[in-house]
Amino acid sequence: MKLPFLTKKNDDSDYYLALILTEDKASAVILKAHETTLKTISTNEEFFTDSIEELSLEDFINVVDRTISKAEEVLPPQIETHKTVFGVKEKWVDKDSKKIKKEYLDKLKKVCDALDLSPIGFMVTAEAVTHLIQDEEGAPLSAVFAEIGEKQVSLSLLRGGKVVETMSSTLMHSATHTVDKLLSHFTVPVLPARIVLYLNKPDASASQTFISHQWSKSLPFLHVPQVTVLPAGFDTRAVMFGAATQMGFTVADLPHDALPKLALEEKHQEDMAAAEQARLDEEHTEDEPETTDEEKEEKNAEDELGENLDNIAPVTAPDEKAGEFGFVVNGEAPETKKHEDTDHETMQSTHNAIDEDSRHHNLVEPEYHAQKQHENGLTKKLPFLAAVPAMVKNLKFPKMGGIAAGLKGNKAPLKIIIPIVAIIIFLAGMSLFYINSVQATVTLSVTPNVVNENAEVTFSADSPSDFSNNVIAARTVTTAIDAQLATNATGKKDVGEKAKGSVTIFNNSDDPVNLSANTELKAGNGKVFILDKDVRVAAESGDVFTGTKPGTAQGSVTAKELGTEGNIPSGTRFTVGSTSTIAARNDDAFSGGTKKNVTVVSKADLDKLRNEIIESVQGDAQSKIAQGGNSGETVLPVAGEPTLQNPKFDKKEGDEASKVTLRASVVYLGMAYENSELTEYAQTIIKDQYADDVTVAQNSIKSTVDGTELTDSKTATANVTIQAGLLPQIDTQDVIKNVQNKSLGQAQETLANLPQVSKTDITFSPPIFIFPNLFPRLPNQISVKVNPE
Percent of the chain's residues with pLDDT above 70: 75
Give the pLDDT of residue 259. Answer: 59
Bridge partners, residue 266, by sequence = none
In whole angstroms, what is the distance from residue 21 CA to residue 687 CA? 39
Query: What number is the average pLDDT over the span 317-343?
Result: 38
Q: Which has the minimum average pLDDT: 43-57, 108-122, 570-584, 634-648?
A: 634-648
More reliable by pLDDT, 588 or 384: 588
Q: What is the length of the chain?
A: 789
Given a cut of 70, whether residue 269 has pLDDT beyond it is no
In whole angstroms, what is the distance from residue 109 CA to residue 102 CA? 10
pTM metric for this prediction: 0.38
Query: What number is the average pLDDT over the span 500-510?
Result: 90
Q: How far is CA 507 from CA 538, 581, 583, in A?
A: 7, 6, 7
In whole angstroms, what is the distance from residue 215 CA to residue 541 CA? 122
Given a cut of 70, whether residue 417 has pLDDT beyond it is yes
Residue 28: which of 236, 167, 168, 225 has the closest Cα?
A: 236
pLDDT grade, residue 369 (50/70/90)? Answer: very low
Is 582 contained in some domain?
yes
* DSSP-based three-state secondary structure for 569: coil
Give the pLDDT of residue 254. Answer: 56
pLDDT in tens, 459-495: 998 889 998 899 999 988 888 888 899 999 888 888 8
Is 393 contained in some domain?
yes
Compute φ and ψ for 14, nearest 5 degrees: -155, 165
Query: What number is the average pLDDT over the span 66-90?
Result: 86
Give the pLDDT of residue 271. Answer: 57
pLDDT in tens, 550-590: 888 999 999 988 888 888 999 899 988 878 889 999 989 99
Give the pLDDT of residue 532. Answer: 92
Q: Which has the minimum average pLDDT: 128-142, 191-205, 382-396?
A: 382-396
pLDDT grade, residue 193 (50/70/90)? Answer: confident
pLDDT in tens, 28-59: 998 888 778 888 888 888 988 888 888 888 89
pLDDT in tens, 695-733: 887 777 888 888 888 888 788 899 999 888 888 888 888
* DSSP-based three-state secondary structure for 278: helix
In whole angstroms, what is the distance from residue 408 CA to residue 187 CA? 77
Domain that residue 556 falls in: 497-594
Please answer whether residues 724 and 450 qualify as being in contact, where contact means their C-beta atoms are separated by less than 8 angstroms.
yes
Query: What number is the average pLDDT over the span 626-652?
Result: 82
Give the pLDDT of residue 295. Answer: 43
More reliable by pLDDT, 778 or 560: 560
Instruction: Give the CATH number for residue 501.
Output: 2.40.30
In whole angstroms, what is the distance from residue 263 CA to residue 645 CA? 72
Residue 501: which of 531, 535, 538 has the closest Cα?
A: 531
Is 116 contained in some domain?
no
Please answer whether residues 437 and 398 qualify as being in contact, where contact means their C-beta atoms are separated by less than 8 angstroms.
no
Given a cut of 90, whether residue 740 has pLDDT beyond it is no
Q: How far is CA 715 from CA 142, 461, 477, 672, 680, in A?
A: 56, 6, 12, 11, 20
Given a cut of 90, whether residue 311 has pLDDT beyond it is no
Compute φ and ψ for 2, nearest 5 degrees: -80, 150
Last residue of a domain, one of 562, 594, 626: 594
Is 565 contained in some domain?
yes
* Number of structural domains found in the chain: 2
Q: Which has the minimum average pLDDT: 313-327, 541-555, 703-717?
A: 313-327
Query: What number is the average pLDDT over the span 755-762?
Result: 86
Give the pLDDT of residue 341. Answer: 39
* 3-state DSSP of 132-191: HHHHHHCCCCCEEEEEECCCEEEEEEEECCEEEEEEEEECCCCHHHHHHHHHCCCCCCCE
3-state helix, strand, coil in the chain (%, to 5): 30, 30, 40
Give the pLDDT of residue 253. Answer: 62
Range 425-433 contact pairs with CB under 8 angstroms and sequence separation of 24 or more: 425/392, 427/385, 427/388, 428/385, 428/388, 428/389, 428/392, 430/768, 430/770, 430/771, 431/378, 431/382, 431/385, 431/388, 431/771
Given a cut of 80, whether residue 231 has pLDDT beyond it is yes
Give the pLDDT of residue 319. Answer: 36
pLDDT grade, residue 504 (50/70/90)? Answer: very high
Last residue of a domain, one of 569, 594, 619: 594
- For the chain, what is the mean pLDDT? 75
Give the pLDDT of residue 771. Answer: 59
In whole angstroms, what is the distance from residue 27 CA to residue 613 CA? 66
| One domain for residues 426 and 503 | no
Q: DSSP letters along 347-406, please? A: --EEEPP--HHHHTTT--PPPP-PPPPPSPHHHHHSGGGGGHHHHHHH--PPPHHHHHHH
More reliable by pLDDT, 6 or 776: 776
Is 198 contained in some domain?
no
In whole angstroms, what is the distance from residue 232 CA to residue 95 CA? 28
In whole angstroms, what is the distance from residue 30 CA to residue 15 CA? 7
In whole angstroms, what is the distance from residue 208 CA to residue 275 CA? 30
Give the pLDDT of residue 73. Answer: 85
In whole angstroms, what is the distance from residue 702 CA to residue 711 CA? 25
* DSSP-based three-state secondary structure for 612: helix
Query: Chain centroid to CA 181: how far?
Result: 19
Give the pLDDT of residue 339. Answer: 37
**CA quadruple 234, 236, 241, 246: dihedral positive or negative?**
positive
Is 660 contained in some domain?
no
Percent of the chain's residues with pLDDT above 90: 10
pLDDT grade, residue 120 (50/70/90)? Answer: confident
pLDDT in tens, 667-686: 888 888 998 888 888 888 88
Give the pLDDT of residue 277. Answer: 54
Bridge partners, residue 449, by sequence = 726
Helix (H) or strand (E) holding 30: strand 25-34
Is 505 contained in some domain?
yes
More reliable by pLDDT, 775 or 21: 21
Last residue of a domain, one of 551, 570, 594: 594
pLDDT in tens, 422-435: 888 877 776 666 66
Given a cut of 90, whether residue 528 has pLDDT beyond it is yes
More reliable by pLDDT, 7 or 410: 410
Is 382 contained in some domain?
yes
DSSP alpha helix (H) spans, 582-708: 603-616, 618-626, 675-689
* Residues whose CB is less than 8 angstroms from the CB of residue 361 and which lie 6 or more positions away in sequence, other chains included: none
In whole angstroms, what is the distance from residue 713 CA to residue 708 CA? 13
Give the pLDDT of residue 769. Answer: 58
pLDDT grade, residue 133 (50/70/90)? Answer: confident
In whole angstroms, what is the distance from residue 605 CA to residue 487 CA? 7
For strands 782-788 and 439-446, give the pairing: parallel
In whole angstroms, what is the distance from residue 518 CA to residue 538 CA? 19
